[in-house]
Amino acid sequence: MGLFDKIKDTGGKLSSLKDAGIEKVKSTLKDFENALPIIKKAGYNLNELNIAVGVPPSITATFNIKNVSDDEHKAAIDEIDSNKVGKAVLNALISATKMKEKLEIRSMTMNEIHVEIGLIPKVNLVYS
């Protein structure tokens, strides 16, 4: 196999990975969208959704917080239990909210939470 054939073969494999990635993103987005009403009940409003199409693709959701009780959080967790994507995002949001209480920055307040949806959600607290 020549160099050109190897490059074509690699390109084909990357294209297959990209197609599989897009299908995974579509499936994840469907689960995420189904979970949004419950996440909202728990006090988190979706402000923005960022989808990066690449290898691997990524989804980042930006939320703001309203104050709700621990009972409302628990009820939302119980309700969202069968939606793995939604449950992971909600747990990440609740953990970030608890972390917010421990991380105070003088003259700044946390106004957003960014959650990168993946195997292990990544959370960014945004202060301004």
Give 85-126 pLDDT, tens digit per residue. 999 999 999 888 888 777 778 888 888 999 998 767 788 888
| Beta strands, E only, the chain | 44-52, 58-65, 110-117, 122-127
How many residues are given for the chain? 128
Please count the structural domains in the chain: 1
pLDDT in tens, 27-70: 888 999 999 999 999 999 999 999 887 667 788 999 998 877 88
User: Among residues 52, 74, 36, 33, which one has the least CA distance to residue 122?
Assistant: 52
Average pLDDT over residues 71-78: 88
DSSP designation for 62: E
72 CB-near residues (< 8 Å, 6+ apart):
41, 42, 43
Domain housing 102: 3-127
DSSP designation for 29: H
